[in-house]
């Protein structure tokens, strides 16, 4: 179900490894000097919404943690920073974590940040006019209409790819998949280098705002078939070694995510103001729409082994990640507080 029309969506605008300080066990966490942790993120899209809310609502500070956000080009780049120990944590989709795990990298999931599918398919308006199918046609017809089109995704292991590939394969749609960073998609679409893009907001809304793009498949509102929907589009990741050596820090990070979800549910007006403070390039109406449509996605911090199994199934459809069957889903999950 859509919460706003595609026209209303045009209000959307494009908008490190730190030293850990020694702490006295006798002091309350909030009274201590905050521990700085570096967090490599896949993008500044709304998959980061719950984290931005926690930052601006003082929830990180309450738990004695100061995140240093490092924006990378993609989830793969964020994972590389984590694996190389250039970052303490990474924020990326479960597929990136699974791909690393399949390569025997000791990556674990500390918490979920965004439940469901965060991205939407935006088609170049002139190309959409040639498809002879309306943007509100049955989803199977809209997927088939993508056959032969060059559609950009953030990476071959992006959490935005598996759901579309799964749904497209089910209806026999033969999409031409290409890969690039989300910010680069906007220019590529406007110049006709690609026909469509799969991106999260606010990137998905830029060309719609300019009148050159059209929302074709709305991910956050659940337009894809249930079997194709991911359990998560973004998760808080770290290495097993870091978690073992810094268990207290990891626990506090988990507590932040859990408390952020409760804050969003119980104090929505305050949470929306905190979201606006994290996305200052967006106008009030854009924030209103974003919060109305996606607040629920930021309030499910827990993963289960069944969730990981579902994600493995979606990633297997890409055919580009060998070794997935050797992964023990339960071994990837850190215990939540």
Instruction: Domains for the chain: give ranges and CATH numbers.
Output: 6-21+28-115+231-332 (3.40.190.10), 119-228 (3.40.190.10)
Concatenated DSSP letters of 33-76: PPEEEEEEES-SSGGGHHHHHHHHTTHHHHTTEEEEEEE-SSHH
Strand partners, 152: 178, 197
Per this entry, what is the length of the chain? 337
Q: What is the 3-state secondary structure (H, E, C) of 156-224?
A: CCCCCHHHHHHHHHHHCCCCEEEECCHHHHHHHHHCCCCCEEEEECCHHHHHHHHCCEEEEECCCCCCC
pLDDT at 1: 39
Q: One digit per residue, pLDDT tens: the chain, 337 residues?
A: 343 443 344 343 333 223 322 233 334 444 568 999 999 998 888 999 999 999 999 999 999 999 999 998 888 889 999 999 999 999 999 999 999 999 999 999 999 999 999 999 999 999 999 998 999 999 999 999 999 999 999 988 888 998 999 999 999 999 999 999 998 999 999 999 999 999 998 888 888 888 999 999 999 988 999 889 999 999 999 999 999 999 999 999 999 999 999 999 999 999 999 999 999 988 898 899 889 989 999 999 999 999 999 999 888 876 778 899 999 999 999 998 8
pLDDT at 32: 65
pTM of the model: 0.83
Buried b (16+ CB within 10 A) or exposed e, 249-287: bbbbbbbbbbbbbebbeeeeeebbebbbebbeebeeebb
**Eight-state DSSP code of residue 304:** -
Q: Which two tokens stand for residue 303?
A: 């993963």
Chain position carrying tokens 């308006």: 125
In angstroms, the CA 232 to CA 118 distance is 8
| Neighbouring C-beta atoms of residue 137, cutoff 10 Å | 15
Concatenated DSSP letters of 14-37: -----PPPP--TTS-GGGSPPEEE
Chain position carrying tokens 């029309």: 5
pLDDT at 176: 97
Concatenated DSSP letters of 127-147: HHHHTT--TTS-HHHHHHTTT
Dihedral sign, Cα of residue 142, residue 148, residue 149, residue 152: positive
Distances (CA, A) of 53 to 4, 49, 56, 236, 275: 22, 6, 5, 15, 5
pLDDT at 124: 96
């Amino acid at each position: 179900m859509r919460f706003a029309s595609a026209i209303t969506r045009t209000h959307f605008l494009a908008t490190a490894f730190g030293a850990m300080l020694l702490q006295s066990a006798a002091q309350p966490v909030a009274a201590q000097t905050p521990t700085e942790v570096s967090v490599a993120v896949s993008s500044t899209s709304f998959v980061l919404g719950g984290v931005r809310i926690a930052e601006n609502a003082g929830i990180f500070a309450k738990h004695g943690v100061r995140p240093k956000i490092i924006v990378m080009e993609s989830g793969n780049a964020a994972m590389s920073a984590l694996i190389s120990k250039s970052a303490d944590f990474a924020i990326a989709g479960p597929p990136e974590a699974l791909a690393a795990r399949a390569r025997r990298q000791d990556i674990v999931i500390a918490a979920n940040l965004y439940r469901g599918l965060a991205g939407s398919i935006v088609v170049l308006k002139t190309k959409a006019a040639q498809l002879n199918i309306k943007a509100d046609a049955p989803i199977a017809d809209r997927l088939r209409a993508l056959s032969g089109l060059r559609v950009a995704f953030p990476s071959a292991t992006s959490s935005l790819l598996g759901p579309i590939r799964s749904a497209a394969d089910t209806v026999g749609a033969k999409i031409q998949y290409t890969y690039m960073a989300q910010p680069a998609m906007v220019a590529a679409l406007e110049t006709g280098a690609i026909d469509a893009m799969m991106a999260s907001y606010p990137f998905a809304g830029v060309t719609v705002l300019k009148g050159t793009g059209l929302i074709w498949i709305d991910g956050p509102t659940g337009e894809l078939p249930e079997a194709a929907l991911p359990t998560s589009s973004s998760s808080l990741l770290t290495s097993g070694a870091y978690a073992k050596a810094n268990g207290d820090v990891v626990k506090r990070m988990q507590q932040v995510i859990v408390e952020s979800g409760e804050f969003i549910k119980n104090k929505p007006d305050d949470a929306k103001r905190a979201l606006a403070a994290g996305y200052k390039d967006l106008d009030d109406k854009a924030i209103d729409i974003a919060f109305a449509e996606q607040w629920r996605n930021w309030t499910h911090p827990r993963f289960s082994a069944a969730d990981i199994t579902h994600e493995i199934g979606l990633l297997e459809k890409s055919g580009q990640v060998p070794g997935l069957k050797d992964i023990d889903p339960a071994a990837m999950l850190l215990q939540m507080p």
